[in-house]
Structure 1
Amino acid sequence: MPNAYPVPRDFRVRFEDLGRVAIGVKRPECVLSLADGSLVCSHGAGGYSLVSPSGGLQHIVKRADDERTFLPNGIAVHPDGRILFAHLGVRDGGIHAIDREGSVRHVVDHVDGKPLPPTNYVSVTDTGGIWFTVSTRQIPRSLAWNRTVADGFIGFHDSSGTRIVADGLGYTNEIAFSPDGRWVYVNETYAQRVSRFRMNANGSLSDKEVVAQFGGADLPDGLTFDEHGGVWVTCIGSNRILLIRPDGEVQVVLDEPDDRFAAKVAAGIQNGTLTWEDMQGPPGNAPLGNVSSLAFGGLNQRTACLGSLTSDCIWTFPSPVTGAEPGHFRRRVM
């Protein structure tokens, strides 16, 4: 008989329990942890921030003479030590690489012969294959902030080219690979659900299943596995962290909303009227700042590290369970 899932069903974290590291970051939407205890997070000025195990902070952003504008959303550590980022522009996207001197170059900018729309997330395999997500083909992307538009996709790029491997998703956000390597999980943010695809031997995806369906202002953005198969989900509208236990039960771990903002988001989703202006919050009463990602950090992967859209720090709390080791964990930023 398998061991019982070790997270108590009554495990909760209060805002007062949270610590702060990396004070001075800018739009740390995506946070990654590495085996040496360091953290990497996206930087809204066009690059990334590197947090040393001792807490030292270094910002790497595009060179001052580069007139292009980038908004790094998801980031990844390539096996060769480069940082890749998904560019979530107003009208353009793509996957780009930035070096320690701030030089930026395109890595993936087209799929099916068309330029990539604003791009949300990126992950890199040990052999250099690049997974990425596009939330929607709608311009502006706020046209897809409802439950009816489902034109997001998951893409993959390798030496054979760039291709779409899953399409028709309700605002594709982060993806994560199950610890057993059998499934690719994906957040469909404005469809308010976590889904998964079977990973086939040839790398294709099939047999989509809905893992969890949410409501209210729960807009799933980040997702991360623990080593026992629990899925930790961060929700930007409600500022909640949800845990999908291996038996499918959804457990609230952290609940720190701005009530007015959450009510506005919930009503907008329900009525299909959510606008860009509606999502430009919360107006100061949700200190987590639209929590957007979670990484299990520290040398033992027992510290939950939270990214967000508007905070100037990375929030942390002690985890009751060890994180599953992500593919980038033993890589080094070069």
Structure 2
Amino acid sequence: MLSFDDLGFLGSGLRRPECVACTAAGAIWVSHALPEGGGGVARLLPDGSLQPLLARAGMPGDFMPNGWSMAPDGSFLIANLGESGGAWRLLPDGACEPVLTEVDGLRLPSVNFVHRAEDGVLWISVSTWRAPRDRAFHRDVADGFVIRMPDPADPASARIVADGLGYANEVKVDPSGTWLYANETMARRVSRWKLTERGLGPRETVADYLDGVFPDGFEFDAEGGIWCASVMSNRVVRVAPDGSQSVVLEDCDPAEVETAMAHWRDGTFDRTYMNLGAARRLRNVASITFGGPDLKTAYLGSLAGDSLVTFRSPVAGAKPPHWHF
């Protein structure tokens, strides 16, 4: 397991750097919220300074950038975690426009993640219909869902293709293009569905996570593994192709983690426990991605940090769909 001596910290002045993406050209982009509301993304320059791209017009008043994907035209497809919800496109000039604000005739609530797959299809995860979303911080609440949007320019093409999820979080198509994977934070598992011509096959459990793991973001590696970032316990866990799990990194108090698990089991878990990791050095890690020329530099996003955590991985990451953008 890695120690703090193995870690680096990149950048400063970031706010809620929840989601990170890297490209082959060396670009590092990260979510960047503003304290007064709004925000967008920021590019981290080699010296660690920020080059923000903020939404300046067209966005809802409670716009809060969460999980996002890059598009080939240089825009960003962003999930709005604010209660007005929806998926939005942030253009290079700062203009913001809606991508999807309703599905099946229902207005979308807070949206967690937008994933643009290799074929251009958008996969959008919504953690819960409940507002505020904290009301879904219970193991017996399972109303999260995933939307498939085959034509990003046509909201009418969007359909809910998976539901009944225990707080749906990041969702991604695997490198083979065969499976859709999703982390379910409150169900504490990673699930997958086989892609079919009509949408998705039945849900399969890839792994029930170790005690103390509340999964948020994840990424694939070149050997078929899944790297998961766990809020609360500040853990990075690798799920091997055979489903076995190993803790790569953690920053938590074991007693606090066990207390949180007890509250999860008896249905009294709430944001107090979810935020335990924010007071520690890794600041509630929320996502992981791989970059660098060999795709062996890992970058961790977080909910409460002001920089990215980095370390060298023994395994290269898989090339993401945006790698050559």
TM exceeding 0.5: yes
Of the structure 1 ranges 176-185 and 293-302, higher mean CA displacement relative to structure 2 is found in 176-185
Correspondent of 1:242 among 230, 237, 244: 237
- What does residue 14 of structure 1 align with? 3
| Corresponding position: 1:99 with 2:91 | yes
CA contact (8 A) 2:207 2:243 kept: yes
Tell me the distance in 2 between the aligned counterparts of 1:283 and 1:186: 24
Tell me the distance in 2 between the aligned counterparts of 1:66 and 1:196: 32
Tell me the distance in 1 between the aligned counterparts of 2:60 and 2:299: 32
Q: How does 1:1-334 map to 2 (within 5 A)?
A: 12-45=1-34, 46-53=39-46, 55-63=48-56, 68-89=61-82, 91-157=83-149, 158=151, 159=154, 161-200=157-196, 202=197, 204-259=199-254, 261-282=256-277, 284=279, 286-331=280-325
Give the counterpart letter for 2:25 in structure 1. D
Deviation at 1:101?
A: 3.1
Deviation at 1:314?
A: 0.5
Percent of aligned pairs with the same amino acid: 41
The secondary structure found in structure 2 opposite 1:266 is helix
Tell me the distance in 2 between the aligned counterparts of 1:21 and 1:78: 24
Of the structure 1 ranges 118-127 and 80-89, higher mean CA displacement relative to structure 2 is found in 118-127
RMSD: 1.9
Give the counterpart letter for 1:186 in structure 2. A
The secondary structure found in structure 1 opposite 2:190 is strand
CA contact (8 A) 1:83 1:99 kept: yes
CA contact (8 A) 1:221 1:233 kept: yes
Tell me the distance in 2 between the aligned counterparts of 1:65 and 1:327: 27
Note closer, same or farther for the CA distance 1:189–1:283 as it changes in structure 2 (3 Å cut). Answer: closer
Of the structure 1 ranges 273-282 and 12-21, higher mean CA displacement relative to structure 2 is found in 273-282
Of the structure 1 ranges 222-231 and 176-185, higher mean CA displacement relative to structure 2 is found in 176-185
Tell me the distance in 1 between the aligned counterparts of 2:258 and 2:230: 14
Of the structure 1 ranges 57-66 and 305-314, higher mean CA displacement relative to structure 2 is found in 57-66
Structure 1: gaps spanning 5 or more residues: 1-11
Note closer, same or farther for the CA distance 1:165–1:234 as it changes in structure 2 (3 Å cut). Answer: same
CA contact (8 A) 2:59 2:97 kept: no
Tell me the distance in 2 between the aligned counterparts of 1:111 and 1:134: 11
CA contact (8 A) 2:166 2:187 kept: yes
CA contact (8 A) 2:188 2:213 kept: yes
Note closer, same or farther for the CA distance 1:16–1:203 as it changes in structure 2 (3 Å cut). Answer: farther
Note closer, same or farther for the CA distance 1:194–1:234 as it changes in structure 2 (3 Å cut). Answer: same
Tell me the distance in 2 between the aligned counterparts of 1:13 and 1:77: 30
The secondary structure found in structure 2 opposite 1:86 is strand
Deviation at 1:329?
A: 1.2
Tell me the distance in 1 between the aligned counterparts of 2:319 and 2:263: 37
CA contact (8 A) 2:129 2:143 kept: yes
- What does residue 3 of structure 1 align with? none
- What does residue 6 of structure 1 align with? none
Report Cα offsets for 1:132-184 as digits up to 9, x if no partner.
10001111211211111111001022245111111111100011222222111
Tell me the distance in 2 between the aligned counterparts of 1:22 and 1:108: 32
Count how many residue pairs are aligned between Structure 1 and Structure 2.
317
Greater RCO structure (CA 8 Å; 6+ sep): 1
Q: TM-score of the superposition, structure 1-length normalised?
A: 0.89
CA contact (8 A) 1:111 1:164 kept: yes
The secondary structure found in structure 1 opposite 2:73 is coil
